[in-house]
Structure 1
Amino acid sequence: MRPLLILAVSLALGACATAPGPGPDTGRGTPPPAAKPDRSAAGAPGSDRYKHSVDAGPDDRRDVSSQPEPVPKVEPRSAYGNPDTYTVWGQTYQVLPTAEGYHEEGLASWYGRKFHGYRTSSGEAFDMYRFTAAHRTLPLPTYARVTNLDNGKSLVVRVNDRGPFHSDRIIDLSWAAAVRLGIEQHGTGRVRVEALTANNDPTPNKSDGRVPTAVRAAVDSPPPATASAAAPTAGDGDLYLQAGAFQALDGARALEKRLREQLRLPVSVRQPASGHLYKVWLGPFASNEDRDRARHTVTQAGFAAPISVNP
């Protein structure tokens, strides 16, 4: 039954850091060219990739400390790796219709040399020297900011693969990303993952001269709200902040509890009827000024900067 299961997932997703024809000892064959994705490749998420209990970094340990981070940009969904649902090892996963608002905390792991050059679920070749990652349900590709909660280091990665299929982990980082975040030596690390979305209107950025103006994630505090004809007025009671969005209710409840206990702010968990995420909202606030003060309080306490939302 396992070969049939693996083949079925292969047809839906393509290869996840794997290749046709397992080779001796490693369970892998010769890395295929990245230009021609093979949907019938032997192996898929949960097969060849996870036969290895131990991975390693490269022999050529390049310095990635000054390597530019990926800049979020609008990209079409990959032709591979984006089915509505897929099943691995008896567990069914639902690919999110959009990455907007995704925010989760948990364990990150990493993968490197044993998978370098093999196809990812998106059909691209895995390059351990690039800042990429694998995620179970975010659309491919998605840009995300990953923050190491133990040392505060933060990095933008491009999600182009599926995994990790271990219940205690939420993201699998490339070797380069793990090094940059200080996770490589530990194998895993506690992280916050925040999806980024962008538009096509670039503005100057010191790293490479281009960065989207509409990065919609809890990364940096947004500028103070300005008055406009469409802006809600004091007393409307419909001013909120979104502190996070989670696939699992447990994650949303955990953040709700931390915010309530540490900051004594009004907080609740919401799931719109048409949504797929549990959203943690702060408020309502009587005015934009009150909402901005609450945002400042949240960020000063070490939480990711929440975004302004209205019901």
Structure 2
Amino acid sequence: MPAARNACRATVVVAAVLLAACASKPGRDGAPARPPGELGSTPDAVPRVEPLRRGGPNKPYEVLGRRYVPMDADLPYSERGLASWYGTAFHGKSTSSGEPYDMYAMTAAHKTLPLPSYAVVRNPANGREVVVRVNDRGPFVAGRIIDLSYTAALRLGLLAGVAPVEVRRLTHDDIRAGLWRRGAPQPESVPAPEPALAAAAPDTADPLMSLVADAQARAPARDAPPRPAAPAADAAPGFWLQLGAFRQAEGAATLRRQVLDAAGDLAVAVFDDVVAYRVQVGPYGSRGEAQAAAERLRALLLIVPLVVERRP
């Protein structure tokens, strides 16, 4: 986790000088001395449609000489990079959204996602996924894309330090459709760890940050994932991989063409679910088959598929 966490939040551009001072003097942060034993089964954040404010915590700001322009529109977004976490040193202090930081809640900080937002964060090393509410700015350390609350990091198995993750923002349409609920695994029971200080990571190049629209352009040539159980033109029951959701049919059609260009043997369908046009691959006979295919698609397309279940 970042020892140089933005203790003085970047809620206004004027705070950049103070942030720089904080970042230049690493503080001591870490896990609680006696964490509650049930933290490992803490449920995910429950996404709800919250209005996106233009201004306030979503205004452009500058930290350590770098300018950040937060998103202020409800757009899909996915990225891969390093995650860190923050704990006792900031517990109870104000976040960029004005809410107090609660290290026992399922929250996170991001430099440019709209505040508030909800995101699915996945640890590719162990396959664990969590849903967090993004209500803070940071981390302002090179190479890191998201700062997780202590409990979110515990759920993902990331308390040892900084580790690669995949982040996917849930759009308002995703939330209304409840896809996060149908696709997310149940919380695992994870034992509370021994108290530890968060590890620091060396500075690295800027993380790979990609929108779905341009992900395929950078995708390397790799083997395609296994073909679904049976191609379908309608919303057949089973497990599907959602690759994107769009308000306009043209956007969904474009993504479908890009996916077919990269992996032509996939059964890629576009469903009009009233609230959005959804690009999905499937169906698969079981969640396990769908998750195995999702792993291959992550490598092939550089996007984070969402496993969803369609029932009769």
Deviations 1:246-273 (A, max 9, x none): 1699x9479612xx313289xxxxxxxx
Please tell me whether residue 18 in structure 1 is matched to residue 8 in structure 2. yes
- Computed over aligned residues only, the root mean square deviation of the Cα atoms, in angstroms, reads 4.2
Is the 2:97–2:135 Cα contact (8 Å) retained in structure 1?
yes
- Which residue of the partner structure matches residue 283 of structure 1? 260
Query: In the comparison of the two structures, how many residue pairs are matched?
Result: 226
Please tell me whether residue 152 in structure 1 is matched to residue 113 in structure 2. no
Deviations 1:174-194 (A, max 9, x none): 11111111001x211110000
Please tell me whether residue 256 in structure 1 is matched to residue 219 in structure 2. yes
Inter-CA distance 51–98: structure 2 relative to 1 (3 Å threshold): farther
For 1:197 and 1:47, locate their aligned partners in 2 and report how far apart those are by CA, in whole Å: 35
Give the CA deviation at 1:126: 0.7
The structure number with the bigger radius of gyration is: 1
Structure with greater contact order relative to length (CA < 8 Å, sep ≥ 6): 2
Please tell me whether residue 246 in structure 1 is matched to residue 222 in structure 2. no
What is the TM-score when the length of structure 2 is the normalising length? 0.59
Please tell me whether residue 82 in structure 1 is matched to residue 58 in structure 2. yes
Inter-CA distance 105–190: structure 2 relative to 1 (3 Å threshold): same
Q: Decide which structure has greater helix share.
A: 2
Give the CA deviation at 1:282: 1.0
Is the 1:133–1:159 Cα contact (8 Å) retained in structure 2?
yes
Is the 2:44–2:106 Cα contact (8 Å) retained in structure 1?
yes
Is the 2:74–2:172 Cα contact (8 Å) retained in structure 1?
no
Unpaired runs of 5+ residues, structure 1, are: 1-14, 20-36, 201-210, 221-243, 266-274
Inter-CA distance 45–171: structure 2 relative to 1 (3 Å threshold): farther
Please tell me whether residue 91 in structure 1 is matched to residue 54 in structure 2. no
For 1:41 and 1:89, locate their aligned partners in 2 and report how far apart those are by CA, in whole Å: 10
Inter-CA distance 67–147: structure 2 relative to 1 (3 Å threshold): same
Inter-CA distance 162–142: structure 2 relative to 1 (3 Å threshold): same
Residue 107 of structure 1 aligns to a residue whose secondary structure is: strand
Please tell me whether residue 187 in structure 1 is matched to residue 187 in structure 2. no
Inter-CA distance 89–138: structure 2 relative to 1 (3 Å threshold): same
Alignment of 1:56-75 (within 5 A): 56-62=30-36, 63-75=38-50
Inter-CA distance 123–38: structure 2 relative to 1 (3 Å threshold): farther
What is the TM-score when the length of structure 1 is the normalising length? 0.59
Residue 172 of structure 2 aligns to a residue whose secondary structure is: coil
Deviations 1:106-146 (A, max 9, x none): 11001110111111111111111111111010000110010
Alignment of 1:97-112 (within 5 A): 97-112=72-87
Among the aligned pairs, what percent are the same residue?
36
Give the CA deviation at 1:53: 5.1
